[in-house]
């Protein structure tokens, strides 16, 4: 396998998506760019959904409710187990499975080793990271904050069954 720029009758994901240089190459590169952009958008919505349902569960169940509820450690609320919030946990899992499927589709696009496709995908993923992910990361606590705790990244807040 090697990177190449020729794309005469290049099949992309589905047998009826046939790319020909000059014919529809720009159209497919645009679609691939927006698919890359969509990945960051889906990740952002998963994080929004995760925060929303955790807030709903904490308010409904109470902050510390044992094995099937929530546990407070160092002033941070964690899920007590993987079974906390059955509907929400299952819906989050299904959403995450959809994102994995989408990510593997993007990987298959890249694995065509077609330079136009690879650059379009990288540009879309990079812009999605800039717009949807990196702009939402905390930088530090506010100067007037009374808490001396370090800020945790979002991945550290989504622990389960620890």
* Residue 48 within any structural domain of the chain: yes
* Residue 98 within any structural domain of the chain: yes
pLDDT of 95 > 50? The answer is yes
- Looking at residues 43-69, what average pLDDT do you find? 71
Is residue 9 within 8 Å of residue 18, measured between CB atoms? Answer: yes
* Residue 64 within any structural domain of the chain: yes
* Residue 141 within any structural domain of the chain: no
* Residue 152 within any structural domain of the chain: no
Range of the domain at 112: 10-136
pLDDT at 162: 47
pLDDT at 7: 77
Number of folded domains in the chain? 1
128 or 140: which carries more pLDDT confidence?
Answer: 128
Is residue 109 within 8 Å of residue 117, measured between CB atoms? Answer: yes
pLDDT at 146: 56
pLDDT one-digit tens code per residue, 131-152: 887 766 666 666 665 555 555 5
pLDDT one-digit tens code per residue, 24-52: 888 889 999 999 999 999 998 988 888 88
* Residue 144 within any structural domain of the chain: no
* Residue 103 within any structural domain of the chain: yes
- Looking at residues 1-21, what average pLDDT do you find? 80
* Residue 160 within any structural domain of the chain: no
Q: State the residue for tokens 């407070």.
A: 72
């Amino acid at each position: 396998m090697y990177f190449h720029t020729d794309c005469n009758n290049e099949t992309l994901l589905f047998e009826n998506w046939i790319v020909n240089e000059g014919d529809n190459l720009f159209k497919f590169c645009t679609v691939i760019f927006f698919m890359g952009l969509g990945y960051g958008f889906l990740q952002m919505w998963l994080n929004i959904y995760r925060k929303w349902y955790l807030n709903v569960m904490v308010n409904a169940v109470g902050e510390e409710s044992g094995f099937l509820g929530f546990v407070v450690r160092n002033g941070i609320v964690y899920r007590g187990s993987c079974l906390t919030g059955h509907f929400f946990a299952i819906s989050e899992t299904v959403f995450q499975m959809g994102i994995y499927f989408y990510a593997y589709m993007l990987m298959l696009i890249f694995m065509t080793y077609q330079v136009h496709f690879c650059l379009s995908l990288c540009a879309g993923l990079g812009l999605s990271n800039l717009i949807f992910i990196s702009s939402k990361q905390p930088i530090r606590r506010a100067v007037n904050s009374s808490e001396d705790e370090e800020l945790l990244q979002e991945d550290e807040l989504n622990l389960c069954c620890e």
